[in-house]
Amino acid sequence: MRQHFGQRVRFDEPMGRHTSLQVGGPADAYVRPKDVAELHHLLEWCRDHTLAWRVLGKGFNTLVLDGGLRGVTISLASWRTLSLEDDLVVAQAGVTHSAFARFCVEHERSGMEFAVGIPGLVGGWLRMNAGTREREMADVTEWVELLRADAQSAERVPARALCWKYRELELEPEIVLLGAAFRTTRAPVLEIQARLDAQLERRKATQPVNARSFGSVFKNPPQDHAGRLIEAAGLKGARVGDAEISPIHANFIVNTGHARASDVLELIEHTRGKVQAETGIRLETEVRIEGEATWD
């Protein structure tokens, strides 16, 4: 791997460097393939050596446990190409939310303002079917570009042919999501910017946007909101070590210092248990929990 990927592979790489909460143990191998051909080669190599692999973006919706990640962790964070195809904004998986917003303003493209401020990369947006109360990625995606582990080239699949769920895009385990095209319309720059600014202001007023967090911890149960249930249980500000339920929004956990993944996990389970005891509702995590609890 070192011979093939050079400095684009790191061994025993701390995942705290690659997750928004800045916690998590080391990945056995952390690889940044430069293109589809190299990614295909890496997937073949993993198959031939019976190695598990996973794709991790910026870790805005992932809790990596303290024992770290076995096998190969693949990053597409350097895949950042943006382009315009008629009314479609085409973005690779590594495009950041801020770069996406700037591109839409510069090219007078409207329709994606709801997504501004949703943390993470385009790949994460899609895998989590990210959105707001009004819209989500399933509503605006025209097609996605996928690479199957046993295929040498990528394919474009119509979004309508995929299985979109609440905060999830269901894909087979052996598929890597490379990017997507989003439907937009032309609008004046000032109008787009005004909507972006308003959306960002709402987020700043209601979410801990400047803290180290991984976004919403729990999915909203039917006809209710996880944050309301957690706040009603008196858990705002609750802590385990340096992991804290945000005083700004109860469905966010923030790292106030040197939190460990075990602190975060304990706080998640404490929150879930107390809400269930008081309401009978068992909250389901929106954040993905990956890795080993301890390092052997």
| pLDDT above 90 for 87 | yes
User: In angstroms, rounded to a whole number, what is the distance separating the alpha carbons of residues 247 and 249?
Assistant: 6
110-137 pLDDT, tens digit per residue, is: 999 999 888 889 999 999 999 888 899 9
Q: Exposure string (b/e) for 15-51, b if CB count within 10 Å is 16 or more?
A: bbebbbbbbbbbbebbbbbeebeebbebbebbeeeee
Q: What is the pTM of this model?
A: 0.91
Domain residue extents for the chain: 2-74, 82-203, 208-290
Task: Please list the helix, strand and coil fractions of the chain in percent, rounded to the nearest 5, in that order.
Answer: 30, 30, 40
Backbone φ and ψ of 204, nearest 5°: -65, -35
Cβ(144)–Cβ(162) under 8 Å? Answer: yes
Chain-centroid distance of CA 274 in Å reads 27
**Multiple choice CATH, 2-74, 3.30.43.10, 3.40.50.300, 3.90.930.60, 3.50.50.60:** 3.30.43.10
CATH class of 208-290: alpha beta
pLDDT of residue 127: 94
pLDDT of residue 110: 96
User: In angstroms, rounded to a whole number, what is the distance separating the alpha carbons of residues 99 and 151?
Assistant: 30
Cβ(19)–Cβ(289) under 8 Å? Answer: no
Q: Point out the residues that are catalytic.
A: 167, 216, 286
pLDDT confidence of 295, banded at 50, 70, 90? Answer: low
Q: What percent of the chain has pLDDT over 90?
A: 82
CATH class of 82-203: alpha beta
